Amino acid sequence: MKIGSALIPLVGWGIDLDQPEAAKSIHLRAIRRLVEEFGLHAVELNGDFTSLYPDVFDKAYYEQVAVLQRQLGFACTVHLPFLWLDGCSLAEPVREASIQCMARILESTRALPVEAYVVHLWGSWSSTLGSAQLLPDKQKRSLLEAMLRSAELTLQELGGLGSPRRICVENLESLSFEPIVPLLERRGMRICLDVGHLTVRGGDAMEFLHRHWGLIGEIHLHDALLGSARGPGARDHLPLGRGDVDYGGLMDELTERNFDGVVVLEVHTEAALRESLERVGPWL
């Protein structure tokens, strides 16, 4: 098991487009900090930076990351772009554009040994439509079936761009993940278990882990709160120890099962990352 983090806690989401080389340097320094200062064994890169800033986070940037990887010896995963994208879209131009954005990252990272590519298969509109409770049951079933056909086509095209085994589809907050599992099994792809998202949906991470163990390729770990009297509603991406996730039991189970994939601490600030690292210190 390799514990890691994305760069977001150290770099945020924006860059100064007037200083592209400085932006690259900030990201490269963040990678070095995660490994040398924070003692992490893995780094997850976010492909949205290439979608949003293609002239900055280009193939040459990833070649620099590959040099750092050889020097520092960390495992690398890539979260394929998801902002404003939707691989389940019934609007074919949107689905095609989503594939094109993902394909750009797959091509740009060819020089970089990547253990897993994480996919958000559906976007906000699919989530909204798929969970719409006001639709008659027949219409809702038809809509979900159409979205699953789009999803399978997206997975088929993604699999044709690289090693299907490295594609890990992430469970999200809004839609049930179970209809996706047969698609992954047919394509030889795997699951990125997002513990916080599952908790927000009212799911049980240990039960999910046991049911789908043979398909789990990566784990996103962050705390989450169910909607209750304690707060305004369900929340995730919290520092470990601030919510309802039994992260200790999960880490013990992964250790006992000799999980050899990457566990990404998916929080959004440096303070939250440090707090979470204190919690998982015994497993580092």
Half-sphere exposure of 277 (CA within 13 A, CB side): 18
| pLDDT at 130 exceeding the cut of 70 | no
Mean pLDDT of 211-216: 97
Residue 228 has pLDDT above 70, yes or no: no
Domains of the chain: 47-263 (3.20.20.150)
Give the tens place of pLDDT for each residue, 103-115.
999 999 998 999 9
3-class DSSP state for residue 81?
coil
Confidence of residue 136 (pLDDT cuts 50, 70, 90): confident
What DSSP letter does each residue of 188-224 carry, written as one string? T-EEEEEHHHHHHTT--HHHHHHHTGGGEEEEEE-EE
Q: What pLDDT does residue 234 have?
A: 64
Mean residue pLDDT of the chain comes to: 93
pLDDT in tens, 154-189: 999 999 998 899 999 999 987 889 999 999 999 999
Q: List phi, psi (to 5°) of 104.
A: -60, -40
Asked if 180 contacts 170 with a C-beta cutoff of 8 angstroms, the reply is no
Residue 230's pLDDT is 47
In the chain, the amino acid numbered 93 is P
Task: Tell the residue number behind the tokens 């040398």, with chain if given.
Answer: 36
Provide the H-helix boundaries in the chain.
Answer: 8-11, 20-32, 48-52, 59-72, 92-108, 124-130, 137-159, 181-187, 195-200, 205-211, 247-256, 270-280
205, 206, 212, 213 alpha-carbon torsion, rounded to 10°: 120
pLDDT tens digits for 23-64?
Answer: 999 999 999 999 999 999 999 999 999 999 999 999 999 999
For residues 89 and 148, what is the distance between their CA atoms, to the nearest angstrom? 10
- Nearest to residue 169, comparing CAs of 184, 156, 153? 184
Position 281 scores a pLDDT of 92
Percent of the chain with pLDDT over 70: 95
Residues 271 and 277: their CA atoms lie apart, in Å, by: 10
Cα separation, 106 vs 58, whole angstroms: 11
265 pLDDT more than 90:
yes
In this prediction, residue 127 carries a pLDDT of 78
Q: What is the pLDDT of residue 201?
A: 86
Give the pLDDT band (50/70/90) at residue 229.
very low
